[in-house]
Chain A
């Protein structure tokens, strides 16, 4: 579970994230929607403890991001971009092992989970090949495995399908759904409305760092004359623009 309590971040005079408060329930896929610069990445970076909040806090799996950042990191897996976070000169197995070791997983457990993840994602043929020599699709699978080697409760995904082709997008979406089936909590940001509609149990729309709307897609549509999600988004963000 993820709970945000007036989470705020200022960069100089800019209020990048302003007093965000909402809860992401355990085992749900939660979409964070907003225009470029709305504060999605900053929010995810704060939840991943990369950035410190200016005020407010968040609690992930019972750990406070301000008071217990190390414990939070042990519970979180991140994927910022579709195939990011791989070292080209290391093999897939070495990449996975590196992140496993830095998350304090024992070597035996790393080996066991690597084998399991290799089977799950079909990586056995290229597990011992250098990441830099792999195709985009293979790298993407390796990035998934790298993100969840420590079996995190929560996955934070920042626009994980941006720049990917259709089949790669499907891989990401299947990965997200599989994580949900395994009881993980997934918080991800996206621009693509169809993707949000397909995957998310609930969504939050943020604009200029502020929460504009939150709920299931159906709830939000009912509150707004059954508009499509895209129209709904434009209307809500537009209202904010006018305000």
Chain B
């Protein structure tokens, strides 16, 4: 194996792939363009949906319960909560909700005002459509207003009876959120590690398909194998190229995410709250990056081995596309796990170790023993993947499979 030959192969492959507009666009440019657009659209629509659940809650009476006292009752609720807007009574609640005329419809029993005056319970039927987020989501806000009304009525009554209304809430709860990171980070902790793992695993696929299976199809591999360069030099040159593309696609995706954040900070958490307040120790961050790079190197080796096995470009594409499932299973199974819930064995399992390391970093929980475990296991996987690729590249039955 000669370094000079590795460098020549790497240089050539790089030049060759950079000139392939399809690969360049799908691996590098598309994430930078598509991710900000996607996140802005999805984040924007999520934000809009959240707003619809809490703001401008249009409420109407059914025609049956439309009386002056009922209208007054609704107006009193609107005074308690400025988000409640009273609309005209409706005939058909389902139609009115689905036509976006109102979000909620109220039916009040006859003589409710007398009952209230006598401090007797009344029945209020809240009609909503749970299949519509704007209607189902508004129930909570409306219910909170009713609770406030109940409390106000109770306070009024107790005052009239000369009883201190404090007895209604003897235990006061004062909430103190001590999370070091902002609300949106939790969402990021679920999505980002999974996304990075998926990208690292698939980023090198276009290059890997082209570099061996593609060469077989174009009949360029045979002349290449008859140069003075050893097979190992050719293999390593190609391996480095796949690695570079895998990392480049991750970097371009992250750049796309940063761009999305710059355009709209809430877009990155898809409207699930603000992001920020990260406090990461530099060494832990470097280790996490290293683990990610090592995962990329492992997948580059596997991709090279699969591409070597394939007889043609198309066959290579088919086999390599299956790799995404190998990543999706561990990625989805760990999506909901939070940093403190990660089990030690997850730091030695492939893919899971990368996801776990990133979750630690994003959660501000640093455990160096676990990060070192993840690093060592990742190095072992890189070596195994490279050995597999080298073995297959040296075998005639794979190289000249027909």
Question: Which residue numbers of A lie inside 8 Å of B, CB to CB?
Answer: 45, 48-52, 70, 73-74, 76, 78, 80-81, 84-90, 94, 98-99, 101-104, 130, 146-147
Contact = CB atoms under 8 A, between A and B. Distances in A.
Main secondary structure of the interface of B (DSSP, over half): helix
Given A51-B396, A70-B230, A102-B5, A147 B15 contact: no
B15 A85 contact: no
B349 to A, nearest CB: 38
B225 A102 contact: no
B225 A50 contact: yes
Contacts of B8: 98, 101-102
Contact of B223 (A49, A90, A104, A147): A147
B235 to A, nearest CB: 13
B222 interface: yes
Interface of B: 5, 8-9, 12, 15-16, 19-20, 218-220, 222-230, 396, 399-400
B396 to A, nearest CB: 5
B219 A80 contact: yes
22 contacts: A48-B226, A49-B225, A50-B226, A50-B396, A51-B396, A70-B228, A73-B226, A76-B226, A78-B223, A85-B219, A85-B220, A85-B222, A85-B224, A87-B16, A87-B220, A88-B218, A89-B16, A89-B19, A98-B12, A102-B8, A103-B227, A103-B228
A86, A104, A130 pick with most chain B CB within 10 angstroms: A104
A81 B222 CA distance: 11
A45, A49, A98 pick with most chain B CB within 10 angstroms: A98
Contacts of B5: 102
Contacts of B226: 48-50, 73, 76, 78
A90 B15 contact: yes
B322 to A, nearest CB: 27
B219 A84 contact: yes
B16 A90 contact: yes
Given A90-B12, A99-B223, A73 B20 contact: no
B228 A73 contact: yes
A50 B222 contact: yes
